[in-house]
Structure 1
Amino acid sequence: MPTTGKRIILGLLTTMLCVSGSMVTYAQTNTEALHNAQAQLEQKQQIVEQKVQEQQAVNKDIQNIQTELTSISNDIANNQEAMAKSQEKIDATNQLIEKKKEEIVAVEDKMLAREDVMKKRAVAMQQNSNVNLIINIFFESDSLSDFIQRASAASELIDADKDILTAQQEDLKKIENDKAEIDRQEKNLEEDQKALADQQAALAQNMQKRQQTLTAMQQQYAQISQQVALAQQEKAGIESQMNNLKAAIQREQADAQARAAAASASARTAVAPAPVINNSASKGNGGSQGVAQGKEIYVSASAYTPFCSGCSGRTTTGLNVRANPNMKVIAVDPRVIPLGSRVWVEGYGNAIAGDTGGAIKGNRIDILMPTTAQALAWGRKTVKVIILN
């Protein structure tokens, strides 16, 4: 090979290595940033969940306090109703008391009148003894029948005096009993009214305390709601940052792939129009090497690794790619590229069609890369494939 060609190839290879190195460094930097963003996102998600739980707990406390306030309001209403009924009893009792007082006044007037009568009778009795009264009646009587009538009247008057004294004593006793009953009822009503008033004051105080607690709980709920909103906003910012990082990684991968493809194409153009292989299909006279021959197709190529999620480490044809991650293997649709075929893939080299995949349908292949970074760097591109046998 001429010296100029070697220099060109060396320069192209150097460019490819620089591009690959820059691409890997950039991918690693963005990957680390993406991992950090993912960790921050998980942390913010935990904060959001914690604040939501706190919010639910405070809301439950608010509901309990509101239930208590409703119960206290009902108790206050019932107590006010009881106070109203008690007031009605007090008013009715006061009316009875006033009536009793009027009755006492009437009895006292009656007793006062009796006292005047009794005073006059007492004076008459002092002036005339019972014997003199009888003698006077006898001498003043016109006849025996008149004497009997006068004596009977005098006896009735004496008995009447005794009845007046008895009635007077009974009325005095009744007045004393009525006054005692009035005092008792007034005392009971005052005690009942005081108890109801104390109960009402206690209920009002409890209502005020629970209302203050409710206000504090509502303020705490509003504060937690603000914290939840802030955490969700920060979470959305991190998600946006992650999306930007993913988009940047994809753009850089696409740019790097384009640069690598251009450098590879330039290298192939400087060396030969097509890869040279050594097999029975490419041998000329006497077994000499020649240009690769076979069916050419264009496919959409993605990349995978032996350690991808859900991978068993063995291909459909039984190759242990996990133990040999550097093997050149592609996954194909057997209807397009038969399993076991030897192929040449643009930008990848000689390989074996040794695997299949659920998503590999039609003109699509999946090339095996030893590491995730290399698989990400490959991304997805359209390449030429030559089926060698």
Structure 2
Amino acid sequence: MQTTRKRIILVLLTTMLCVSGSMVTYAQTNTEALHNAQAQLEQKQQVVEQKVQEQQAVNKDIEDIQNELKSISDEIANNRDEMAATQEKIDATNKLIEEKKEEIVAIEDKMLARQEVMKKRAVAMQQNSNVNLIINLFFESDSITEFIQRASAASELIDADKDILIAQQEDLKQIEKDKAVIDQQEKVLEEDQKALADQQAALDQNMQKRQQTLTVMQQKYAQVSQQVAMAQQEKAGIESQMKNLQAAIQREQEEAKARAAAAAAAARARAATARPIAVPVANKPASQGNGTSQVAAEGKEMYVTATAYTADCAGCSGITTTGQNVRANPNMKIIAVDPSVIPLGSRVWVEGYGVAIAGDTGGAIKGHRIDVLMPNKAAALAFGRKTVKLVILN
């Protein structure tokens, strides 16, 4: 009997070690891949952040250039307005110049006519001296009255010649003044036109350079945006890979737990068939250690499917069917049962759990199925789902 038990225990330990070894190997492989993916994700996140900052800097440069272009465009518009105003002045000045030129022509014609008159009079004066003119006036006059009249007329002619000469001199002076005004106006307008043209050329050149810079920056922005999109796409691929690895690790852990539970159940079943269970009449069941060892007990025995639950489950009130506050006392030993199989309030022993009270029920707890209370979710997950032996003690 002792040899059989040792063999069973050895088989059980070997099975559990093999399953544990496989689980550790799978976990190490996937964990290492997960760590590598995490490192790649962090590196790619840094690249994304760097490219986004570069994208923002380029966008800021583009905004600055666009503002400069707008300022230059405003200056060009103002300069064009000034050029238009200057052109209006030029047109007005040109009109004034044309008028002055016409006035000069009219004065020159007037002076030319005066010169002809003065020329004829000068010829007449050369042919007749003033004395001869007076003598002729005296002898040719019929009376003293006619002589006085002729003398007066000659004096007026002489005075008229003086007026013509004075007017001629004044007209010449006016022509020189008008020509000086025209020259000055033409010089001012020429300087204004040149200054505005130079300013317009400088603005156009600056505008062209800034537009070229803007084109380069826009191309750079498009390139950086493409790099950001590629980095984000690679990051999403790494995140998807990490999710797949995490899911694979979780599946492998669940499969390993299931294999371990199945192996343990099979080993226990072999152990149970290999040795008889002693049930002394005088002894009551006692929990040993954590309740994982079998106990000798008197009472009704059965095998049930056991799962675990906690007081923090969704929708749970924390109060059992028999009125126990398991939320305030999560370490209580209570199981949920089907009252038609295990009476409520019964004191029971559960393999791998220990002595407990059948103090709760559940909608999914039907037939030979129980739900054992665990203090937390980690313990409940560790317990898992298994087939165990149950003894109703009273």
Query: Under a length normalisation based on structure 1, what TM-score does the superposition of the two structures give?
Result: 0.75
Give the Å deviation of 1:367: 7.4
Relative to structure 1, the CA distance from residue 261 to residue 144 in structure 2 (aligned partners, 3 Å threshold; closer, same or farther) is same
**Aligned position for 1:281:** 284
Asked if structure 1 preserves the Cα contact closer than 8 Å seen for 2:11 and 2:267, the reply is no
5 Å-filtered alignment, 1:121-140, equals 121-140=121-140
Relative to structure 1, the CA distance from residue 77 to residue 230 in structure 2 (aligned partners, 3 Å threshold; closer, same or farther) is same
Work out the CA distance in 1 between the residues paired with 2:92 and 2:259.
107
| SS at structure 2 position matched to 1:272 | helix
**Aligned position for 1:180:** 180
Q: How many residues align?
A: 345
5 Å-filtered alignment, 1:315-326, equals none
Q: Amino acid of the residue matched to residue 290 of structure 1?
A: A
In the alignment, structure 2 segments of 5+ residues that lack a partner are 287-294, 311-326, 338-346, 357-364, 366-370
5 Å-filtered alignment, 1:78-93, equals 78-93=78-93
Asked if structure 2 preserves the Cα contact closer than 8 Å seen for 1:30 and 1:245, the reply is yes
5 Å-filtered alignment, 1:157-176, equals 157-176=157-176
Work out the CA distance in 1 between the residues paired with 2:222 and 2:328.
63
Percent identity of the aligned residues?
68
Q: Amino acid of the residue matched to residue 188 of structure 1?
A: V
Q: Amino acid of the residue matched to residue 259 of structure 1?
A: R
| SS at structure 2 position matched to 1:290 | coil
Give the Å deviation of 1:42: 2.6
Tell me the alpha carbon deviations over residues 13-39 of structure 1, each in whole angstroms, 9 at most, x when there is no partner.
Answer: 212102102211221221232123223
In the alignment, structure 1 segments of 5+ residues that lack a partner are 284-288, 304-315, 319-329, 354-361
Tell me the alpha carbon deviations over residues 173-213 of structure 1, each in whole angstroms, 9 at most, x when there is no partner.
Answer: 11111111111111111111111111111111111111112
Work out the CA distance in 2 between the residues paired with 1:269 and 1:223.
68
5 Å-filtered alignment, 1:206-217, equals 206-217=206-217
**Aligned position for 2:141:** 141
Relative to structure 1, the CA distance from residue 267 to residue 112 in structure 2 (aligned partners, 3 Å threshold; closer, same or farther) is same
**Aligned position for 1:60:** 60
Q: Amino acid of the residue matched to residue 104 of structure 1?
A: I
5 Å-filtered alignment, 1:353-372, equals 363=371, 365-366=373-374
**Aligned position for 1:111:** 111
- Alignment equivalent of 1:290, drawn from 286, 296, 320: 296
| SS at structure 2 position matched to 1:282 | coil
Work out the CA distance in 2 between the residues paired with 1:277 and 1:216.
92
Give the Å deviation of 1:143: 0.9
Relative to structure 1, the CA distance from residue 157 to residue 364 in structure 2 (aligned partners, 3 Å threshold; closer, same or farther) is farther
Relative to structure 1, the CA distance from residue 296 to residue 229 in structure 2 (aligned partners, 3 Å threshold; closer, same or farther) is same
5 Å-filtered alignment, 1:1-389, equals 1=1, 3-4=3-4, 6-272=6-272, 281-282=284-285, 290=296, 298-301=305-308, 336=336, 344=350, 349=352, 363=371, 365-366=373-374, 381-383=384-386
Query: Under a length normalisation based on structure 2, what TM-score does the superposition of the two structures give?
Result: 0.75
Give the Å deviation of 1:254: 1.9
